[in-house]
Structure 1
């Protein structure tokens, strides 16, 4: 069975704590690894989690604040040092190209040519996924520096119905041909269509939303996804700080998930001002407006993407 999950490498915001590293999130999807926002210490967190540079196919940076990108030099140099041969696509805001260049070449090392840059520009960007088993898109969020959220989608498909196939006399190699071509001629000479023997199968979807105020793009990214990974920097009583620093409260994260019909809400990017005894309140405040599955992310958690929705 293919793996589709989230490996959490860090859950702090601007300042790491003893128990929470700077940001870092590895989404594993059918043999491909998408590393989102590698903050400082990501390389060591990867070692602790048992993943290697060879597990990275994408590096996706939402914006160029340090807690979301200071791990880029170590990750790139590890890709080079370990001799990764497959392409690694690097996606980041075009407005921060100069920051990317500084991070990409932060120190002297034997460089690699496998990293392929794909700067983002505009309010909505479709990203060439290069034959990956998903589509990837980005939308610009509302933050003091140019920032993007990401949306990963498996294309919709179909589920074949064995009883319908038998009823229409379709079996063996004809089943695969029916899936590929949409219609076949059965053994009795009848034409059988794919719609007669299947039901739609919605593809799985995941969204990744980091630093932002409430904005239309955040709702659009979260719409209909199976799992939403989202910043929840502040508790609701600190909403004034959230507005000042262009972040979300955890209740706002819950509102986004509720309006989008999200199935699993993963809360992360917590301010260092909160102590261990404060964290149950994050789940409580999100649940005030969101009735689905809430996961309060911890470093080195592995969180599965919910199974596909039924048609």
Structure 2
């Protein structure tokens, strides 16, 4: 059997308000396993995983960036479904959720307030909520991830820098603009995952800066300044899906001459 390479599967690529694609979340997968990052805003994450051909029984680790609804509510559906599979003998082992203290508190509270007792019973037994602090590291799916506070002005949020099994580095900046305090986590990364709320030319319509977001032009400039090799843009608006891939790539490419990826929902990218 051919050994699986490092892969990134974008389950969703949209921002909080999208209706024509799913909220931003993705899976990092390799021969060692699969890591889910965020889960979108609802049970649509279950549909996206099914469409991508990814079984929940193959996912044993989830990283949650922050507690905004478009990232954390899908986590509750993941917990519910995995707990059901555990009860039916269809899920082996432990499921770990890594997040900062605020997100852990929100996940725990929603689960205990909304889910049946037989589901909640799996918390602290086989579904573990693992708090991480700024600078903490953990291992999952053959990768080592170091978490960092993105220093959001809106909601406490963590990104991460991952060392992949082949020693490539991948940095996820979350869904807000880069802060220079995180320079060491980003500079020289092989892969940079960066939000791009819209095109710079559409800034008057979408107003990214008022919402503390970036444009494709900003992301390209950042990637060039920090000497990364590959740039992947996500967390976008959904009004220009038909032209998004071409136009975002062109705009980011005005500054960045490396590889640029603007994936659609369910797109698989080999890392």
Q: Confirm or deny a common fold (TM above 0.5).
A: yes
Offset of residue 45 of structure 1: 0.6
Q: Tell me the equivalent position of 1:149.
A: 159
**1-structure distance, mates of 2:221, 2:268:** 24
CA 1:98/1:120 → structure 2, altered by over 3 Å: closer, same or farther?
Answer: same
The TM-score, its normalising length taken from structure 2, stands at 0.85
Q: CA deviation digits over 1:94-129, x for unaligned, max 9?
A: 1333312134343226332322222233xx322232
Mark the CA change 1:245 to 1:231 in structure 2 (over 3 Å): closer, same or farther.
same
Residue 135 (structure 2) pairs with residue 133 (structure 1): no
> What corresponds to 1:4 in structure 2?
6
Alpha-carbon contact 2:245-2:263 (below 8 Å) kept: no
DSSP-derived class of the 1:110 partner: helix
Does structure 2 retain, via aligned residues, the 8 Å contact 1:139–1:217? Answer: no
Could you tell me whether the CA contact under 8 Å between 1:219 and 1:259 is conserved in 2? no
SS in 2 for 1:128: strand
Query: Aligned pair in 2 of structure 1 residues 252, 220: CA closer, same or farther (>3 Å)?
Result: farther
Partner residue in 1 for 2:24: 23
| Counterpart pick for 1:90 among 89, 97, 105 | 97
In the TM superposition, residue 86 of structure 1 has moved relative to its aligned partner by 2.0
Shift of 1:31: 2.2
Instruction: Give the number of aligned pairs.
Output: 255
Three-state SS of the structure 1 residue aligned to 2:67 is coil
1:237 aligns with 2:201: yes
CA distance in 1, matches of 2:53, 2:244: 30
Structure 2 Cα separation of the partners of residues 295 and 234 of structure 1: 15
Of 109, 129, 132, the match for 1:120 = 132
Task: Tell me which of 210, 222, 229 is aligned to 1:256.
Answer: 222
Alignment correspondent of 1:44: 47
Task: Give matches, 1:276-295, under 5 Å.
Answer: 276-295=242-261
Q: Counterparts of 1:278 and 1:58 in 2: how far apart (Å)?
A: 31
Q: How far is the alpha carbon of 1:226 from its aligned partner? A: 2.0
Deviations 1:23-56 (A, max 9, x none): 2201013322111110121111101111111121
Matched with 1:209 is 173
Q: In 2 relative to 1, CA 50–275 (structure 1 residues): closer, same or farther, beyond 3 Å?
A: closer
Deviates more, 1:66-75 or 1:270-279: 270-279
- The structure 2 residue matched to 1:61, chosen from 54, 61, 64, is 64
- Return the alpha-carbon distance in structure 2 between the equivalents of residues 272 and 77 of structure 1: 29
The match for 1:167 is: none
CA contact (8 A) 1:263 1:292 kept: yes
Q: Which runs of 5+ in 1 are unaligned?
A: 156-201, 306-311
Residue of structure 2 equivalent to 1:158: none
